Amino acid sequence: MRFMDDQSASRMEFEDGTVITKCERCQQIYAERTPPGDPPCETCRVDLMQENVDTAKIFGIVRGQVLTRHNGQMDVIMGLNHLAVWAAIDAYGVKDRTKTFERVISCFEAMRKK
């Protein structure tokens, strides 16, 4: 599954250490209503095709692992850390390693342009 915006994909950490996504919280809120209702998931998320599941999983894990440089005024993102991508691919035993790597990098670059 991928999210239409960063707001939907973000995570919340509570004081007791519990971590949930805003998507999970939204589902809880609708379930606790009187009467219970169904959350508007169809407007918030898109189900992935099977061949993109590994890419989405790895991208979600490594998207914050960026390489930066300081240009004199601020840090500039140079790109995604390839070592982090390969480590996640190895850790999750992804079968189509090269294609997944290429897709993760491509996804990162597309998100960076937005």
Tens digit of each residue's pLDDT (9 = 90 or more) over 38-55: 888 777 766 788 888 899
Helix (H, G, I), strand (E, B) or coil at 106: helix
Kindly state the tokens that stand for 87.
């480590």
This prediction has a pTM of 0.62
More confident residue, 86 or 22: 86
- Domain of 28 in residue numbering reads as 1-47
Q: Is residue 58 located within the same domain as residue 108?
A: yes
| Contact status, residue 55 vs residue 11, Cβ threshold 8 Å | no
The residue that leads in pLDDT, 45 or 62, is 62
Together in a domain, 18 and 62: no
pLDDT of residue 4: 45
107 and 66 within one domain: yes
Amino acid 15: pLDDT: 72
Q: In the 8-state DSSP scheme, what is residue 45?
A: E
Mean pLDDT, residues 16-44 taken together: 82
Q: Is pLDDT above 50 for 8?
A: no
